[in-house]
Amino acid sequence: MDYAKALQALARGGVEFILVGGAAATAHGSARLTQDLDVVYRRNDTNLERLVESLALHDPYLRGAPPGLPFRLDVSTLRHGLNFTLTTNLGDLDLLGEIVGGGTYEDLVEHSLWLELFGIRCRCLDLETLIQTKRAAGRPKDFDAIAELEAIVRIRPRPE
């Protein structure tokens, strides 16, 4: 996954999104390997249009689907769905309308922080809410990730 190009494409396209999942864990200091980019996106009309425009050049396609399906990532597709697991020419991208234990963009935005990286600013879920969502998901693959994130809560430098 080319995180620099993917985040730049979204941020420079004016997309309102919050970094969640493994990439958010990386931002907070996790040393675990993650392969994709998970974002919770705002589901108003303007943002759906911006999302479609931002990804248009990056060949979005349904991950795991056989090739050749008549899939188009357009505003109508986004309106009729919620969570999309996609491949793109920048890497695997999960567009999430809501997440277990966290809710929608509007629910999460007050639990997010601004990050500055790769020349852009983007929102990232705060560490405590990230842990909360991973606990709520209850997936065995997240158990060691939660243990690591909780260790980060204990050892991270405190703001002065």
Residue located via tokens 């990056």: 58
User: Using the rule CB under 8 A, is 31 a contact of another protein?
Assistant: yes
3-class secondary-structure state, position 122: strand
Residues 123-142 that bind another protein (CB under 8 A): 126-128, 131-132, 135
33, 66, 80, 141: which one contacts another protein (CB under 8 A)?
33
Q: Are 10 and 23 in contact (CB under 8 A)?
A: no
User: Using the rule CB under 8 A, is 146 a contact of another protein?
Assistant: yes
Task: In angstroms, give the least distance from the CB of 132 to another protein.
Answer: 8
The site for another protein, by CB under 8 A, has a size of 39
75, 109, 117, 137: which one contacts another protein (CB under 8 A)?
117
CA dihedral 30, 36, 40, 41 (to 10 degrees): 140
Distance from C-alpha of 17 to C-alpha of 39, rounded to nearest angstrom? 6
**Buried b or exposed e, range 113-124, using 16+ CB within 10 angstroms:** bebeeeeeebbb
Instruction: Report the interface residues with another protein, using CB under 8 A.
Output: 1-4, 23, 26-31, 33-35, 111, 113, 115-118, 126-128, 131-132, 135, 143-144, 146-148, 150-153, 155-157, 159
